[in-house]
Structure 1
Amino acid sequence: MTEPAPEPRSFTFLVNPAAGGGAAPGAVVPVARLLREAGARVDVTYSPGPGAMAGLVEEAVGRGDVVVAVGGDGMLSSLAGLVAAADGVLGILPAGRGNDFARALGLPDDVEGRARLLLRAPVRRVDLLALSLPGAPPGGRPRLVAGSVYAGVDARAAEIVDRSRRIPRRLQYPLAALRALATYRPARYRLVLDGTVHDIEAATVVVANSPCYGQGMRIAPDARVDDGRLDVVVIEAASRPALMRALPKVYDGSHVHLPEVTVLTGHRVELSADAGPAAAPGVPLGGDGEPLGTLPALGGEPARVDLLPAALALIC
């Protein structure tokens, strides 16, 4: 007896219209057309802002839809936690400046490949990072991040990228990294990894779930989104010229062999830092291309990043 063909997936696309310099809406049209031609039901909603996202996700998951994040890494991260909390399934249509999580997964970059993946690729479970900051409202949920949380010069570079408007997209991250390095000052960090304390002077600390950030930089080349661990990359304090010379190595991951780079692995990180009296107030903190404020100062309650294994169902 022949079994009936499975019902095609249905989709709710949530689009960040500002992503990729306004490229995201145009990325939706050809993919949505191919999905509809294949028999799938497709709804497209342009994000009205973070406050309304939870309700849109709950409605979509309640209908049995795959929620598709259309935008960059920030849009993906903002939806990943909501979809995980609703026990739904997430798809990705990369249309931002970095698209590093999609790059780490090896997602196709052509229209036909993207439509085919959404229709037919299996659902797998991937890990997420949960960032908890002191001073959050009682009972508030941690911020969930798909790719990486970073502090120091990398977060400063991300702030510069966020303000870039007229620079071509492919140059934004390299130029921002050079600008951030030109004015960087090392900070004193206290890093507690699974209970072990590390006091270090560093340019940056990255807590990674994914190997890529910064538009293709392989900051944590051995990180995997489903290996049940987080990778911590520490780039210790060095001279500005030395850090600038080392920057190209980050694109192929060979920087991890430099003596000033340490890679640790674990499941929970606590992090605080002191920028020193001569530096700008606080050490900047970011995650998946979004500024997240500053790290707590040494001696106070630290920020905490926990790995959430297999937290998200993802089409990939």
Structure 2
Amino acid sequence: MSDPGARSFSFLINPLSGGGAAPAAVVPVARIMRDAGASVEVTYSPGPRATLDIVEAAVERGDVVVSVGGDGMLSSIAGQVSTLGGTLGIVPAGRGNDFARMLGLPTDPEGLARILLEGTARPIDLLSLRTGEAEPRVVAGSVYCGVDAIAGEIVDKVRWLPRKLQYPYAAVHSLATYKPIGVHVTVDGEAHDFRAATVVVANSKYYGSGMKIAPGAEVDDGLLDVIVIEAASRRGLLQSLPTVYDGAHVDRTEVHVMRGRSVTLSGTPSAPMGGDGEPLGHLPASRDGAARVDILAGALDLLLPS
């Protein structure tokens, strides 16, 4: 590996990611990098506020900040790394790892270490979600409301299941019990109304541990992909679920695909919202107070294969 001394690294680990798998995942990667001569500091995430302080100090030192965990961990620090002008690396160690899947990152320690040591920092897009008066929330992969957000809540309650079964179980259970929402969507000011099962505003193709929900999405095209799946019978949605894994669902008549740079969402009845596996409150009912998602084009420098 060439010139490992040119970079220093601050690894931030979410110890709960992947059902506790993250700490073990980082050990071989860090060992390979240290053996190559790189400076590697490993810190367990001590909580949101303290983690942001650690990120700030790492960027000030000129370290590459490395997210060790799942999509939620990545999103929790990507915005601050971007704001501070730092560079981010990824060691995927969560349950879904959908953003790493989108980037085509390897899973073996040698491959991950090589990217961190020799990869190129390339600009990628992020999403900014604003609801009400709260500070905007930065998300890497996607923001969604409806059955997928319900599925995310279920995943957090079934950690006793094997990891490979958690998302499929949650998807089936949420579809079997969902209630349609009347959602008002604007994409770059163009308004649409749907009776929907779910709405996804995506930067990444993947969510839900491998579902190819937005097959046309790219992380560097400066656009949001908006996927609306209209409400159908529970049986019909369950039967169509397998098509989401290869992206074929977008050819179905009840699925609508739109693209733009700014999206607003509102609707009733109340439905949960989520982003990269984390709960983000509930869909606003009022159009005047609609949730707004904007693309942050080229916002984050991320280490990727050269």
The question of 1:302 aligning with 2:290 is answered yes
TM-score, with structure 2 as normaliser = 0.97
The residue that corresponds to 2:208 in the other structure is: 214
Gaps of 5+ in 2: none
Contact 2:4–2:117 at 8 Å: present in 1 too? no
The residue that corresponds to 1:129 in the other structure is: 127
Cα deviations by residue, 1:172-195 (Å, 9 ceiling, x for unpaired): 101100000111011000001100
CA RMSD of aligned residues (A): 1.1
* Shift of residue 287, structure 1, vs aligned partner: 0.1
State the alpha-carbon separation in 2 of the partners of residues 60 and 255 from structure 1: 42
Contact 1:189–1:298 at 8 Å: present in 2 too? no
The residue that corresponds to 1:146 in the other structure is: 140
**Mapping for residues 9-24 of structure 1, pairs under 5 Å:** 9-24=7-22
State the alpha-carbon separation in 1 of the partners of residues 36 and 233 from structure 2: 56
* Equivalent residue in structure 1 for 2:224, among 204, 207, 230: 230
* Equivalent residue in structure 1 for 2:91, among 77, 90, 93: 93
**SS state at 1:163 partner:** coil
The residue that corresponds to 1:118 in the other structure is: 116
* Equivalent residue in structure 1 for 2:78, among 64, 77, 80: 80
Cα deviations by residue, 1:125-148 (Å, 9 ceiling, x for unpaired): 000000000132xxx3x1000000
Contact 2:4–2:38 at 8 Å: present in 1 too? no
State the alpha-carbon separation in 1 of the partners of residues 299 and 27 from structure 2: 30
The question of 1:283 aligning with 2:283 is answered no
The residue that corresponds to 2:281 in the other structure is: 293
The residue that corresponds to 1:186 in the other structure is: 180
**SS state at 2:149 partner:** helix
Matching residue's letter, 2:77: L
The question of 1:312 aligning with 2:306 is answered no
Task: Give the number of equivalent residue pairs.
Answer: 303
Cα deviations by residue, 1:217-240 (Å, 9 ceiling, x for unpaired): 000011000011010000001100
**SS state at 1:21 partner:** helix
CA 1:5–1:238: 2 relative to 1, 3 Å: closer
State the alpha-carbon separation in 2 of the partners of residues 84 and 197 from structure 1: 31
**SS state at 1:227 partner:** coil
* Shift of residue 296, structure 1, vs aligned partner: 0.4
The question of 1:159 aligning with 2:167 is answered no
**SS state at 1:55 partner:** helix
* Shift of residue 154, structure 1, vs aligned partner: 0.6
The residue that corresponds to 2:244 in the other structure is: 250
CA 1:98–1:5: 2 relative to 1, 3 Å: closer
**SS state at 2:235 partner:** helix
* Equivalent residue in structure 2 for 1:70, among 68, 71, 88: 68
Contact 1:8–1:39 at 8 Å: present in 2 too? no
State the alpha-carbon separation in 1 of the partners of residues 40 and 13 from structure 2: 13
CA 1:189–1:179: 2 relative to 1, 3 Å: same
**SS state at 1:36 partner:** helix
Contact 2:184–2:287 at 8 Å: present in 1 too? no
* Shift of residue 163, structure 1, vs aligned partner: 1.5
**SS state at 1:20 partner:** helix
TM-score, with structure 1 as normaliser = 0.94
**SS state at 2:159 partner:** coil
State the alpha-carbon separation in 1 of the partners of residues 156 and 302 from structure 2: 27
Matching residue's letter, 2:68: V
State the alpha-carbon separation in 2 of the partners of residues 47 and 301 from structure 1: 34
* Equivalent residue in structure 1 for 2:260, among 244, 257, 266: 266
Q: Percent identity?
A: 62
State the alpha-carbon separation in 1 of the partners of residues 118 and 196 from structure 2: 45
Structure 1 runs of 4+ with >3 Å offset = 4-7
* Shift of residue 5, structure 1, vs aligned partner: 5.6
State the alpha-carbon separation in 2 of the partners of residues 298 and 42 from structure 1: 48
Matching residue's letter, 1:12: S
* Shift of residue 6, structure 1, vs aligned partner: 7.6
Gaps of 5+ in 1: 276-281
State the alpha-carbon separation in 2 of the partners of residues 251 and 107 from structure 1: 19
